[in-house]
């Protein structure tokens, strides 16, 4: 990882990584490859079709090293993976100390004298492959749904389409390549739960988040029969949040009809 130049990653020109070739010599990478390059400040340059020399030197070296390491381990047996890893590391160290055939020094000496001083640290967090969900609409309650749970989005984007970037632990919300907010993912067995960032919601009593206390207070203002109905709705569901929509649907009748009629 060199500070003086942009690191280059040269994979195969695989269809899972390269979306299209709009012009000669230009490639369009998929989201995962672009994120990988941006995370490590690197350039991804897939080998060109029908141009085997783009990767020939690298692949030949890898093949030679693998053959050299395997030859030294062929007659040994290992009981655990850590033992095998230690043996491979030992063989790799020996390979790097082998003198060059046509020049002075070894791979290790070249690294220590020429390359080590140019190294810069890797990012503090390793790259993590993500999944993109495109065009998810923000609901009227200011949340998007993912895996039967609700995650807040800044209220200015209610009714708009957003994109979700999901890793093993985090859900991020984007619109036009701008990150709007992020949340820790709820567990895989959790359903109908809300993750709400205070900064995503507008201020004021009008926009206060609905909960059982607020819903029951509204029911009490309508009348005792409404309280009975709302209580039965909540008793009929395993999780209280599952009854919010049904209870609010009944309560909203009081906006069209008198409390006595409701």
Residue spans of the domains in the chain: they are: 8-118, 131-207, 212-255
Task: Quote the CA–CA distance of 157 and 166 in Å, as a whole number.
Answer: 19
Q: Is 172 exposed, middle or buried (0-12, 13-18, 19+ CB in 10 A)?
A: middle
Contact of 242 with 235, CB cutoff 8 Å: no
The pLDDT of 5-18, averaged and rounded, is: 74
pLDDT at 33: 82
Q: Hey, how many other C-beta atoms are within 10 angstroms of the C-beta on 174?
A: 16
C-alpha closest to that of 93 among 75, 115, 78, 108 = 108
204 pLDDT higher than 60: no
Query: In residues, how long is the chain?
Result: 262
pLDDT at 72: 87
20 pLDDT higher than 90: no
Q: Which residue has the higher pLDDT, 14 or 256?
A: 256
Contact of 247 with 234, CB cutoff 8 Å: yes
14 pLDDT higher than 80: no
Q: What is the pTM of this model?
A: 0.56
Q: Give residues with Cβ within 8 angstroms of 192, minimum separation 6.
A: 148, 149, 150, 239, 241, 242
Under DSSP, the state recorded for 98 is: S
The pLDDT of 132-139, averaged and rounded, is: 91
131 pLDDT higher than 50: yes
C-alpha closest to that of 142 among 162, 128, 127 = 162
24 pLDDT higher than 70: no
Task: Quote the CA–CA distance of 33 and 28 in Å, as a whole number.
Answer: 10
Radius of gyration of the chain from its Cα atoms, rounded to whole angstroms = 30
pLDDT at 231: 94
Task: Quote the CA–CA distance of 153 and 25 in Å, as a whole number.
Answer: 40
Q: What are phi and psi of 79, to 5 degrees?
A: -90, -25
Contact of 233 with 247, CB cutoff 8 Å: yes
DSSP-based three-state secondary structure for 36: helix
């Amino acid at each position: 990882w060199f500070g003086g130049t942009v690191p280059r990653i040269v994979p195969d020109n695989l269809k899972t990584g390269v979306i299209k070739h709009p012009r000669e010599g230009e490639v369009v990478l998929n989201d995962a490859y672009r994120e990988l390059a941006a995370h490590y400040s690197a350039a991804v340059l897939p080998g060109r079709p029908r141009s085997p020399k783009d990767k020939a030197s690298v692949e030949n070296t890898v093949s030679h090293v693998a053959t050299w390491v395997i030859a030294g381990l062929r007659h040994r047996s290992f009981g655990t993976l850590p033992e095998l890893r230690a043996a491979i590391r030992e063989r790799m160290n020996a390979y790097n100390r082998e003198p060059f055939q046509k020049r002075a020094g070894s791979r290790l000496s070249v690294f220590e004298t020429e390359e080590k001083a140019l190294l810069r640290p890797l990012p503090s967090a390793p790259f993590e492959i993500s999944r993109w969900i495109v065009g998810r609409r923000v609901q009227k309650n200011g949340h998007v749904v993912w895996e039967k749970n609700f995650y807040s989005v800044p209220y200015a984007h209610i009714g708009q389409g957003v994109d979700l970037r999901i890793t093993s632990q985090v859900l991020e919300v984007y619109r036009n390549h701008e990150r709007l907010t992020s949340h820790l993912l709820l567990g895989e067995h959790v359903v109908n739960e809300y993750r709400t960032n205070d900064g995503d919601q507008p201020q004021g009593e009008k926009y206060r988040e609905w909960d059982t206390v607020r819903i029951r207070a509204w029911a009490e203002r309508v009348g005792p029969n409404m309280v009975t109905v709302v209580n039965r709705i909540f008793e009929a569901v395993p999780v209280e949040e599952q009854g919010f929509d049904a209870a609010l649907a009944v309560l909203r009748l009081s906006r069209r009809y008198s409390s006595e009629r409701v």
